[in-house]
Chain A
Amino acid sequence: MSEQEVKNLEEIFEARIARDEKIEPKDWMPEKYRKTHIRQISQHAHSEIVGMLPEGNWISRAPSLRRKVALLAKVQDEAGHGLYLYSACETLGISRDELYDQLHTGKAKYSSIFNYPTVTWADMGAIGWLVDGAAIINQVPLCSTSYGPYARAMIRVCKEESFHQRQGFEIMLKLANGTPEQKDMAQDALNRWWWPSLMMLGPTDAESVHTAQSMKWKLKRKTNDELRQQFIDQTVPQADLLGLTIPDPDLKWNEETGHYDFGEIDWDEFWQVVKGYGPSNKKRMKDRVGAWEEGAWVRDAAMAYAEKKEKRKNDIKRAI
């Protein structure tokens, strides 16, 4: 294809996106579009499956049968999200095994928030309320993103995420209205998860390298800073309702802007965790890689069995 032809195709492609048309797997797309989408969708899928680990940590210790069942169901939903996101990603011409390999070798990233440990039961509430809350803010705009399979996967993901968020808030509410020990547990969880949740919405706009292009392709509708502000504005009244204090002495309502002002985010901590030196990065990767390696003989067996079965079927057909 000549340079001019590619240019023409690109123009048609960009015009389709501008008209809010969906791009489907068999449509022509610029290589950069494909790569950016593989990166973002796989990062999202990896976040779902690594995200199973910090919550999975509390399944065996959930305080009641009802909570245990709800937590199991939630973690299972996350596995399901991982599954449809990997499938969406595969439509871009990459296999799930290749994607896993990128995760396991550290080439692909996942959401840094999952590199923090879950140390009390209240963390199950805080994750649902804050982490899923921040995720929803990030993800709702993706329901109308330009790549069809991703947009459709996100519609389902978002529905389930809002349910998780309500569930998390409900855990916090029960604790906040409970005994002094329970209330302390809730406050402590908020103290630990607040700042990482703000960081989860990504570096400040000045530092964000992907924003401009992503906006054009509708992979992003608002900048990181706008999303962060939206999250804070939405969450502060919820913390008030719980009777908990957000651990930011600079947090206050600004009449003029109609938003909350907030304190300085510790970006050194953010980059430390992103670069692999957070409190649980090593543990998360060890668990993922361990599960994958220990499961190799099982996956090999399934393949071998399927081949044998197929062969037997063909042998019978031939005999007939």
Chain B
Amino acid sequence: MNLKISNNQITYIRKANLYLISLTLLTFIIGLYFSLLVSPPDYIQGDSMRIMYIHVPSAWLSLFSYTILAASCVAWFVYRNPIFNLIAKSIAPIGAALTLIALVTGSIWGKPTWGVWWVWDARLTSMLILFFLYLAYILLWQSISNQETASKISAALGIIGFINIPIIKFSVDWWNTLHQPASISKLSSPSIDINMLIPLLIMTLGYMLFLITLFLIKLRTEIIDQKILRLSIK
């Protein structure tokens, strides 16, 4: 892989990370203060719905990460610059972790709300499949020993997965309406109260910063890895 990234640029990433980490922590502290203490409890679900402030941002960002992953795979096909494959590779485990967080918190939230840990709700099921799409991408990359081939092949899988997401969403929704009348909806009120929206947005910002920080750390490691690999081949 022919990476055109200077060592200076790598150092910038490291320096930026120091600021990002503190900013992330700060946003999380503010966000958690607002969501756990300031925002009012839900009039039906009580305090148990506060998990929404963890659950919803991770669900949003897990989809966002996959979009980034697929976008960088497409960018690789267009520009043939290997950095895009490294971006996709770096964001995949973070996205998978976010999906897992969304699934676990969703399930914890489900226990007091629905009385069971898991229901075959359309959104939960789609998220579960998304998790396996991430997993397939990561595992495929890992199982091909030639790094260059691995990056190019995984890029194809990333795009196939992305094409599949709306299809899965559509079919799972369709399946859900067929098998269960839409009796369960998580957010009891259609329009969300402003006192809940603000902490939710702060938490989303916190998650976003967290995502960027982790992503940059991972990307930096990947770039250095590739550089070492190239040196050892020459």
Partners in one complex: no
